[in-house]
Amino acid sequence: MSSQSATTPLPPSAPRRARVPRVPPAPGALPVLGHAAAFLRDPLAWLARCAASGSGEGVHRLRLWGRPSYLLTDADLVHEVLVTRAGDFEKGGQFYRNARAIFGDTLVTASAAKHPHQRRRMQPVFRRARIAAAVPAMHLEAARIADAWSSGGVVDVVRDSVLYAHRTAVRTLLPVLSTVEVDRLAIASARLIEDLFLRTVLPPQAGVLLRRRFEASLRTLREACVAAVPEARAYAADERSGLLAALLETSPHGDGPASDEEARDHFVSLLMAGTETSVSALAWQLHHLSRDLPLQHRIRDELHAVAGERPVTLEDLERMPLLRRATVETLRCRPPLWMLLRTSVREVRLGGHRFPAGTEFYFSPHQLQHAPGTFAEPERFCPERWPERGPSARDRAFLAFGTGPRKCLGDHFALTSLAVATSAVLTRWTLTPADAKPPRARLRTMQVPLALRLRVERRHSAL
Ligand code: HEM
């Protein structure tokens, strides 16, 4: 399909008003609501139905909130949008417009024009040495949570994943903060994310109370960051000064150190990008492990072989291929960002159709990662389907971290944090499901288990 479907910008002589492309509609539209009901009711099943319908060769017309929009279900077309012709598309639509208005043009929300500079600016934050220096803080937070469980008890995994993800993000970004302050900011950060979805989908005048609460959380985080910046700035060259401090040095590209305001905006945007995604990934990872006792034993053996009884380091984790494959498989089965969106910035040709500028294209990492033609038995959790190093650049259908110029910049940090938390849990506890039925997913911007209860039994040797 890719050979005939290049998204070629039209020549200058093309007519200014593109005709509405003749793309077959996606199944499941209702008379007034269009496809909104399918999106809200059982979107994963609906996406699979769209992909299986075969009409439109991977492009399906949507009736959604009155805007011209299409669903792409073919991995090659999605690759064109994200990689080959990435310059023809940007993060547009109401969600990103609202997010930009609230948080400014930081890397996550940056418009196409500002993105290359923001990306270059942010790269030092995720240098390997900074991630390696953050591992003890990840371990500390995982141990605080896992040590509070009691043997034979039932753990609310989503609640504890929220604690882990927000505390770890705050502490690794700004290690100068005390534990009391980390916990206070983690609560504000979790509240901010909880309210973010409604804040970005509702019009600005809606929900006065929600807006006040949202702004109070945002203020708490910004003020605390600005208060911590002078100390972080003083030790910025030391890798142990945290991820955010990487922005407080002069960059090799000639950018000066970030101002307090810039540091504050990046702090909040990284919390936004890195917390709920990690909550989702950790909760689903523990769910999958709880249903596979032999896999828990094998990962423990691997852990013991590389680290013995001491807390893991980044080097140890790099020598644990089974844990890595299990994590990648979790992200294949349950990609946290289950749906992505791009808007065309000019007229484009895609899948044999022409689309005008301003057209919205939706595509789902979840649907692509469950395509039966790409992954055998896609519903089965099977770490062995991946090579030791996980997916390669050729695995177009693995999109849990996105791809192309806007691929997740925090992917190594996220994989490390997940591996540290999983190791800390497995060295202390054996996990089994407390409920017979697997958890259902709550699908908003992320997919997170609606509720996940696991029974934990103490193991004899703990780190
Ligand atoms: C398992 C956890 C994570 C997953 C699955 C994930 C997934 C993604 C995906 C799919 C995108 C691309 C979105 C798009 O193309 O529209 C993205 C972008 C991004 N992520 Fe992550 N992410 C995770 C964790 C993190 C963490 C921990 C951080 C930082 C602390 C982070 C920082 C970012 C940033 C800065 C971007 C924007 C990159 C750009 O636009 O250039 N992510 N992430």
pLDDT in tens, 148-168: 999 999 999 999 999 999 999
Q: What is the pLDDT of residue 9?
A: 40
Residues of the chain with pLDDT under 50: 1-18, 462-463
Q: Are 381 and 292 in contact (CB under 8 A)?
A: yes
Contact 6, 27 (CB under 8 A): no
107 lines ligand 1 (CB under 6 A): yes
Indicate if ligand 1 lies below 6 Å from the C-beta of 410.
Answer: yes
**Which pLDDT score is estimated for 398?**
96
CA of 270 relative to ligand 1 center, distance in Å: 9
Cβ count near 45 (within 10 Å): 11
**338 φ/ψ angles, rounded to the nearest 5 degrees:** -85, -15
User: How does 295-307 read in b/e, with b if 16+ C-beta sit within 10 Å?
Assistant: bbeebbebbeebb
Q: How far apart are the first and last CA of the chain?
A: 52
Give the integer Cα–Cα distance in Å for 63 and 83.
26
How far, in Å, from the CA of 370 to the mean position of ligand 1? 21
Q: Are strands 441-443 and 67-72 parallel, antiparallel or unpaired?
A: unpaired
Q: What is the pLDDT of residue 205?
A: 67
| Contact 339 CB / ligand 1 (< 6 Å) | no
Element (H, E) at 36: helix 36-41
Q: How far is the CA of 288 from the centre of ligand 1 (A)?
A: 22
For each of the domains in the chain, give its residue range(s) and CATH number, in order of start: 2-7+23-103+341-365 (no CATH), 117-337+386-458 (1.10.630.10)
The burial class, CB within 10 Å (0-12 / 13-18 / 19+), for 2 is middle
What confidence score (pLDDT) does residue 22 get?
84
